[in-house]
Structure 1
Amino acid sequence: MTTTKTAVITGSSRGVGADTAKILAAEGYNVVVNYRQKAPRANKVVKEIEEAGGRAVAVGADLTSEEDLDRLMQTAIDEFGSLDLLVLNASGGMEKDLGDNYALRLNRDAQSNALTAALSRMNPGGRVIFVTSHQAHFINDVDTMDAYDAVAKSKRAGEDELTSRIPEMSEKGVSFVVVSGDMIEGTVTATLLNRMEPGALEARREAAGKLYSVREFAEEIAKLATADLPTGHIELVGGAQDFLAQVDAK
């Protein structure tokens, strides 16, 4: 596929976001790589993209700052001339030093503010992808680990807030899709949860039958950039059968 479109990917200096950036760049997207603090990691992603023949730029931006978000989205316009795809990948909330309400500020408020900053700049035909987890998407019906409960609820609040703005996106000709995955092998969140609740990762692997790797989940996200899907579509990567079964049982 050849394209001259530009993607902004939040939280893309490592992990799923970084792999998504590399995959989209290989497909021809110009990519804005976002990071909060670790510039060297983001610059490494940019270097790998450029060495493979792609185009990318790294932008440091704290997503809880509306000013930073505005600068992040404007960079797509200034550097590449358009903003066609926004991948809302960054999330968090397990940090202990950023305030009691940090999970909600990042996973709900910052997601909505990022959409606001992007939507005024996006072209008709653009797309917004919100990345979440089954543990968060189903949190209203299926309990999760105690250590992840507050984060899951804040991410679901973010998903609900963005979903409520579908009419606004549709007016601009922009579609919205959600991609939800199980615990991802090798991610910081999965590692932390397994440390806090030993055996959690193995339990999820057993229940799901398979847990995706970082690269595999990134490939699923990248597919949604151009997939012919109705706005509001929710892609349950891996099927989420045990979550759906618990919902159906209620």
Structure 2
Amino acid sequence: MAHSDYAMLLNLTAQERLVDLVAPLMQPGGRILFVTSHLAHFYGQQPVYKLYEPVAASKYAGEQALRNRIAQLADRGISLVVVSGDLIEGTITPKLMERSNRGLINERCKQVGSLPTIEEFARAIVNTCVNSSLGSGATVFVGSTQVTNSVESVNC
């Protein structure tokens, strides 16, 4: 069984520790990339599936903690960019959410047309790493950011 603070340890504490360890080793012009989900990026602004709540809260906390370091990173010539994805087709998180909430993936697909694929998400991550026109603090969105109306009515 996972520790009760597992999500925060993974998505906040570990992310801060990683930046503490790698930033002194990075060259000016380097970039830190934080990968998250729309459910986490918009946490507190949009509804979240109950099952995903601890993950969304912890990823949001991690993103905000790293964003709070943008000025400190800039002093070293390092930028921070965030890539946020909708539910990604074929990945474990939507599959696990679907187990507790039959029809969730179909409902999301109907609402937004289609979910991004693993390949599309990976391509966005790679492109974000090399796109020098993105300023520190920029967010790249993969998939729809449209709010799902069914989150509150679905029993997760």
The alignment's TM-score, normalised by the length of structure 1, stands at: 0.57
Which residue does the alignment assign to 1:212? Answer: 116
AA matched with 1:238:
G
Which residue does the alignment assign to 2:65? Answer: 161
* Aligned residue runs from structure 1 range 16-35, under 5 A: none
Aligned-pair identity (%): 39
The answer as to whether partners of 2:86 and 2:144 remain within 8 angstroms in 1 is no
Q: Which runs of 5+ in 2 are unaligned?
A: 149-156
Which residue does the alignment assign to 2:6? Answer: 102
Q: Which runs of 5+ in 1 are unaligned?
A: 1-96, 245-250
Which residue does the alignment assign to 1:64? Answer: none
Residue number among 125, 130, 142 corresponding to 1:237 in the alignment: 142
* Aligned residue runs from structure 1 range 20-169, under 5 A: 97-169=1-73
Compute the displacement of 1:207 (Å). 2.1
Runs of 4+ in 1 over 3 A off after TM superposition: none
Compute the displacement of 1:216 (Å). 1.1
What SS class does the counterpart of residue 129 from structure 2 fall into? coil
User: Deviation string for 1:154-199 (max 9, x for gaps)?
Assistant: 1000000000010111011001100101000111111111112111
Distance in 2 (CA, whole Å) between partners of 1:113 and 1:154 is 15
AA matched with 1:175:
S
The answer as to whether partners of 1:136 and 1:152 remain within 8 angstroms in 2 is yes
User: Deviation string for 1:79-127 (max 9, x for gaps)?
Assistant: xxxxxxxxxxxxxxxxxx1211100110111111111111011010000
How large is the Cα RMSD of the aligned pairs? 1.5
AA matched with 2:108:
R
The answer as to whether partners of 1:177 and 1:233 remain within 8 angstroms in 2 is yes
Compute the displacement of 1:239 (Å). 4.3
The alignment's TM-score, normalised by the length of structure 2, stands at: 0.90
Which residue does the alignment assign to 1:194? Answer: 98
Distance in 2 (CA, whole Å) between partners of 1:226 and 1:239 is 23
Which residue does the alignment assign to 1:179? Answer: 83
The answer as to whether partners of 2:67 and 2:137 remain within 8 angstroms in 1 is yes
What SS class does the counterpart of residue 105 from structure 1 fall into? helix
Aligned length: 148
User: Deviation string for 1:52-74 (max 9, x for gaps)?
Assistant: xxxxxxxxxxxxxxxxxxxxxxx
Distance in 1 (CA, whole Å) between partners of 2:90 and 2:28 is 36
Distance in 2 (CA, whole Å) between partners of 1:239 and 1:173 is 32
What SS class does the counterpart of residue 243 from structure 1 fall into? coil
| Larger Cα-atom Rg | 1
The answer as to whether partners of 1:184 and 1:212 remain within 8 angstroms in 2 is yes
